[in-house]
């Protein structure tokens, strides 16, 4: 016991104490307290502990439908011809089950596409492979709201698909309109499958080839080899990607809002994230206008997200996936295919690449043409791009995003580097908790953080700079800092893992104190990781949707880029044109490409990019 106390005293030098205070203060004040307060608020009714608000949700009949509408397809006759409508009336199981249904379907489809694409890219050699490596990642270039609007415009009754296949080529016997939950599933699948693809690809190339070769020598080939050896060894990466897809799908606001802009109200709005956001839009004047059952919905959403995250993590740790080597990265197990093998691979990759990247290309076309009000793009124009500088409201949104993201990045670097150093180098009780807290925000939906901020800071910090009704911009900075912290912390932690601590111990033995060692030895050795983490965190903050559009409703003048885009797409009173929102999407695409390129150059490796 005395030995442990002496060890703790030795480890708690001034630098470590300062780093612990920084991490604890930021994560405690801007993650733990707001979310905890929201949870408590949902369980209290008239001053006592109660399940009243949860019961009222179920009793309302809209949260879980006792008689769900399960019809998917209807054929409608109109004066303009027959229309096959998919998803307008159903499926509709109620808000809660709709959310689970959409997230589960997106996870299944995205995992299937991601694993298949990853296996092809990791195990086969074919002409054009490097081209497909780039194209398959285009959906990760986040263009919030506008990409869903573009896809909605393509799938609409008078959209591009019907114009080409029904009106022009006369291939279809009737028009097709995909809307509601099926449209939402399609959009989210195409935008989220690269998350599974990147994780699965990394897992496949890390597999020791000798294990598969031994299995082949024992008679396992083809599908049996894949199911019994390859897939189980890659399961940790695939499971992590699938869990992230489920959580990101559940918290997504860009797709339902984009579909509302393209189609108007519909079943795509009957999901938890949209309903929570919509309820808080009604409470712009005062927090009292928001019914407490909304907090109950937020708690339900939080429980689902954390449960999926923890279950996947627990499932992966139940088995051992260790290998004696990762020879696949240095000696990849790849095959060259004949013509018969190449045809299905090219068909799959071309269809997937075209379908998944079309929304991003559509955003670019929308920004440089007058496509917004017509079936096909018309004249080319720079008017919408020039609005980024000329239009005062647009320029203010860009400036707000730059300021918020820059300050948030500085905070993330301070907190993320401190957390990573404590976890990687200090042997103190509770460092696992710090590691968990700095990683956990990736599993907490952004709308939950926004709800927690709105309730907590409006209650205890009214009429102060932290009052969300007075100054949401300051809270957006801290929300970005917390929400995007995992990407900075994990990147910096990876840097510390690659540097042996004996270099720091040598400096300590020569008389340098811990702070001097940190700033003159440790930090310079991982500076590339710090810079790369900062760049990625900056762009992630520029793309942030949930907290941006929820808190900015309280003071639109302080809204960032994504808030302006949501207003253009969804707001009842138009504040601009969709093409200007598309121009902002192009700006975000350019920023992301630059961030990826610079980070790849600094770290000399491909950087996974999650635009959420």
Residue pLDDT, tens place only, 283-325: 666 666 677 788 899 999 999 998 888 887 776 655 544 544 5
User: What pTM value is reported for the model?
Assistant: 0.88
* Res. 510: pLDDT tops 90: no
Strand residue runs (E) in 115-222: 124-125, 175-178
Say what the pLDDT of residue 146 is: 87
The two beta strands, 124-125 and 73-78, are unpaired
Runs of H (alpha helix) within 461-610: 472-483, 485-498, 502-509, 514-517, 523-525, 527-543, 546-552, 561-570, 578-603
Higher pLDDT: 273 or 156? It is 273
- Reading the block at residue 284, the tokens are 């712009």
Q: What is the mean pLDDT of residues 495-518?
A: 82
Token couple for 585: 């999407």
Would you say the CATH fold of 53-381 matches that of 2-50+386-603? Answer: yes
Tens-place pLDDT, residues 221-238: 777 777 777 778 888 888
Domain borders along the chain are 2-50+386-603, 53-381
Task: Read off the DSSP letter of residue 103.
Answer: H
CATH of 53-381 among 1.10.3720.10, 2.60.40.1180, 3.90.226.10, 3.40.50.2300 = 1.10.3720.10
Residue 3 scores a pLDDT above 80: no
Return the CATH number of the domain spanning residue range 2-50+386-603: 1.10.3720.10
How far is 102 from 152, CA to CA, in rounded Å? 17
H-run or E-run covering 131: helix 129-135
- What is the pLDDT averaged over residues 461-477? 92
Rounded average pLDDT over 18-36: 94
Q: Quick one: which of 425, 436, 547 has its CA closest to 490?
A: 436
Q: Is 303 exposed, middle or buried (0-12, 13-18, 19+ CB in 10 A)?
A: exposed
- pLDDT mean across residues, the chain: 84
Is the pLDDT reported for residue 186 higher than 90?
yes
| Mean pLDDT across 197-213 | 80
State the pairing for strand pair 335-336/124-125. parallel
């Amino acid at each position: 016991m005395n030995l442990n106390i002496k060890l703790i005293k030795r480890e708690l030098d001034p630098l470590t104490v300062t780093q612990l205070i920084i991490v604890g203060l930021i994560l405690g004040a801007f993650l733990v307290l707001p979310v905890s307060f929201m949870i408590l608020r949902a369980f209290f009714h008239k001053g006592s502990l109660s399940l009243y608000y949860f019961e009222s949700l179920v009793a309302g009949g809209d949260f879980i439908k006792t008689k769900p509408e399960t019809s998917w397809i209807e054929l409608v006759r109109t004066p303009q011809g027959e229309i096959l409508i998919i998803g307008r009336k159903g499926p509709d199981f109620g808000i809660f089950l709709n959310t689970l249904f959409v997230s589960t379907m997106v996870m299944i489809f995205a995992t299937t596409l991601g694993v298949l694409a990853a296996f092809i890219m990791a195990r086969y050699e074919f002409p054009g492979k490097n081209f497909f490596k780039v194209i398959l990642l285009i959906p990760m270039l986040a263009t919030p709201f506008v990409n869903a609007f573009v896809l909605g415009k393509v799938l609409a009754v008078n959209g591009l698909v019907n114009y080409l296949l029904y009106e022009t080529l006369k291939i279809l016997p009737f028009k097709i309109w995909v809307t509601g939950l099926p449209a939402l599933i399609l959009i989210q699948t195409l935008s989220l499958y690269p998350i599974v693809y990147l994780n699965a690809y990394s897992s496949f190339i890390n597999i020791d080839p000798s294990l598969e070769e031994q299995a082949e020598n024992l008679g396992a080939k083809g599908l049996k080899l894949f199911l019994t050896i390859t897939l189980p060894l890659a399961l940790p990466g695939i499971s992590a990607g699938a869990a992230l897809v489920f959580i990101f799908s559940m918290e997504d606001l860009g797709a339902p809002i984009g579909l509302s802009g393209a189609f108007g109200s519909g079943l795509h709005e009957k999901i938890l994230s949209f309903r929570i956001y919509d309820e808080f839009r009604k409470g712009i004047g005062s927090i009292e206008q928001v019914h407490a059952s909304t907090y109950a919905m937020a708690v339900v959403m939080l429980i689902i997200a954390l449960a999926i995250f923890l279950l996947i993590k627990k499932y992966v740790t139940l088995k051992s996936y260790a290998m004696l080597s990762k020879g696949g990265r240095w000696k990849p197990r790849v095959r060259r295919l004949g013509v018969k093998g190449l045809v299905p691979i090219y068909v799959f990759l071309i269809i997937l690449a075209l379908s998944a990247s079309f929304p991003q290309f559509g955003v670019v076309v929308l920004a440089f043409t007058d496509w917004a009000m017509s079936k096909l793009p018309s004249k080319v124009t720079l008017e919408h791009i020039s609005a980024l500088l000329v239009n005062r409201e647009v320029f203010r949104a860009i400036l707000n995003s730059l300021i918020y993201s820059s300050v948030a990045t500085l905070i993330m670097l301070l907190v993320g580097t401190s957390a990573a150093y404590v976890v990687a180098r200090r042997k103190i009780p509770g460092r696992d908790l710090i590691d968990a807290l700095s990683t956990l925000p990736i599993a907490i939906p952004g709308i939950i953080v926004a709800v927690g901020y709105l309730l907590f800071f409006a209650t205890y910090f009214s009429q102060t700079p932290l009052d969300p009704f007075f100054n949401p911009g300051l809270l957006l900075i801290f929300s970005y800092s917390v929400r995007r912290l995992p990407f900075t912390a994990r990147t910096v932690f990876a840097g510390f893992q690659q540097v042996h601590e004996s270099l720091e111990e040598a400096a300590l033995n020569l008389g340098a104190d811990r702070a001097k060692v940190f700033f003159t030895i440790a930090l310079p050795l991982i500076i590339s990781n710090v810079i790369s983490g900062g760049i990625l965190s900056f762009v992630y903050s520029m793309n942030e949707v949930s907290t941006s559009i929820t808190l900015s409703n309280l003071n639109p003048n302080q809204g960032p880029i994504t808030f302006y885009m949501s207003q253009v797409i969804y707001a009842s009173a138009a504040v601009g044109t969709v093409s200007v929102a598309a121009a902002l999407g192009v700006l975000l695409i350019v920023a992301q490409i630059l961030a990826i390129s610079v980070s790849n150059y600094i770290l000399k490796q491909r950087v996974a990019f999650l635009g959420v």
